Chain A
Amino acid sequence: MLALRIDKEERGGFFPPNTGYFPDLLKQDGSYRQMRIHEKGSVSGAAHGTTILAFHFRDGVLVAGDRRATASNRIMSNRVDKVLEIDDSALLAISGSPAMALEMARVLDHSLKFYRRSQLTEISLEGKVRILAQLLKENLPMAVEGIGAVVPLFVARDPASGAVRIYFYDILGAHFEGVEFSVGGSGSPEVQGILRYLDRWNPRPLREMSREEAIVLSLRLLETASYFDSATGGVDSQDPIWPVIKLLTPGTLETVDERTMAEIYRNEVMRVR
């Protein structure tokens, strides 16, 4: 009977008020525990391998990711969504362990909504960035065991200025702003090199690219990554399996539809010489 009462702590008089931090609530409830593997070495079958990228273009930020999930040399799935909408102003692109990354995305999604609904105000951009950093820090035991590392990109609109910003993280939760672009995953070295080259020596920097040019570039980058990295799924227009490409601007969040990608791919990527 005692459990059914509105207890003193629920009345809020004698305990600190609700902070709006959702992971604390999950921990109290016992539904969010960090796993720890004590045996050394990695676990066979853990899924890894990805290419995710984000760069500024004229209207905002383009975020793209391939669809492949691998475990060792096995392809587990070619239809994983690695660019996730956290809300209408934030995107999370995930690389690393899908199990942990998708769980983090789910916690983050609920955290932002829980904060808004419990505190009756929007959380700041810095607050969003910090929640993800905290989740990564809490995931450190899994990361150092070699089976649960997550290295995400977080792209969000600043509610104060309307500007869209790119953040990248390390496995400890340290976060930095990717001023022009950021990349992640096993296929990222090639993509990073190309983006750096284009931004530095192309006649026009990345920020001056049009929407169409940005989409073309992202498809070409993902195909290049898949050419060198077996863990990155390329564009399979026969099956068809298309990457996920999302555009976050100061006023909109758009997912590029498959028909547009198919047309661009046919005309601009799959050139017949």
Chain B
Amino acid sequence: MFDEPYRWIDAIHQRRDYITEQLDRATPVVGISVSEGILLASFHRQNPKIYELYDRIAMGGIGHPADLETVRGILLNMAHVEGFQRSSTDVSIERLALFGLAPRLKAAFEDVSAPPIILDVLLSEVGKTFRDDRFIQVSFDGNLQRATDMMVLASTEEMEEKMTGLLRERIPAGEKTLGKVLPVVSRVFMDILFSPEELGMDESGNLLSPEKFSECESRLFEDRQWEGVLLDRNAPARIKKVAYSGDKST
């Protein structure tokens, strides 16, 4: 079937559509650089999305939990073997993404005879200073995107742009503390998961009905769990859990 180029390209298009459709309902994962380190945050229904990979390095992923677990295993193995053979400082998300993950994902995506890998991954690496923090997004087809101060991993480009725009609008550029950023991130999740009408807001974004907002927050926590971690700049060998900063944080 795949001996003709057209059929292979057609199959690839169908595969891309299928994977995109499968990823469609995923809640985004946000990575933001703060003074204390890197904040990674999301909500999940059943399975966690954010994991510690190595000293200074963590990952977030959206997609099928089994595929996420496979990729997590590959990255864990690669990071630990490399860190053991050389030094922990030689392990970087650039190497993990470029040499470990991207070629595998590309090969898996283009092998149309095998079941697809359904996931996108956000890798984050905390540096010595705010300016040294790094993010890399690896897509299901092996494509890479890099960022320094923040990165949003979302199921669609529209969602990614909307969330990034809201975060940039509300978080000042440059160095900022976790305490300042966390409430903004929590609020932006509300804004992208619910419509303004549901949240009780007018067209300009003014909150008209705090009751409606609170109701949405309750609904959010009924079927999802908050997932927030800090890759601590001063203690980077172990991620720390960060509590949700909204009405439900108390």
Interface residues of chain A, those whose CB is within 8 Å of chain B, are: 1, 4-6, 10-12, 18, 22, 25-26, 29, 31, 87, 106-107, 110, 113-114, 117-118, 120
- B103's closest neighbor in chain A, by CB? A4
In the bound complex, CA of A107 to CA of B105 (Å): 30
- Is there contact, CB below 8 Å, between B107 and A6? yes
**Interface membership of B51, Cβ < 8 A:** yes
Q: Which residues of the partner chain A approach B51 to less than 8 Å between Cβ atoms?
A: 117, 120
Seen from chain B, the residues whose Cβ lies within 8 Å of a Cβ on chain A are: 51-55, 66, 69-71, 73-74, 76-77, 80-81, 83-85, 103-108, 111, 114, 117, 237
Name the A residues within 8 Å of B105 (CB-CB): 6
Q: B103 touching A117 by the CB < 8 A rule?
A: no
Contact of A113 among B80, B103, B117 (CB under 8 A): B80
Asked if residues B73 and A10 are in contact (CB atoms below 8 Å), the reply is: yes
Pairwise interchain contact B80-A31, C-beta atoms closer than 8 A: no
Q: What's the least CB distance linking B157 to chain A, in Å?
A: 25
**Closest Cβ neighbor of B73 among chain A residues:** A18
- Assuming the contacts A4-B104, A22-B80, asked whether A12 and B85 have C-beta atoms less than 8 A apart, the reply is no
Task: Let me know if A114 and B107 touch, CB within 8 A.
Answer: no
- Known contacts A6-B117, A118-B76; decide if A110 and B83 are in contact (CB<8 Å): yes
Assess whether B73 is in contact with A117, with CB atoms less than 8 Å apart. no
Instruction: Tell me the complex Cα distance, A29–B55, Å.
Output: 21
Contact A25 B77 (CB under 8 A): yes
Task: A130 to B119: give the CA distance in the assembly, Å.
Answer: 37
In the complex, the chain A residue whose C-beta lies closest to that of B81 is A29
The 8 closest A-B pairs by CB, nearest first: A4-B107, A4-B103, A6-B108, A5-B107, A114-B80, A110-B84, A29-B81, A6-B104
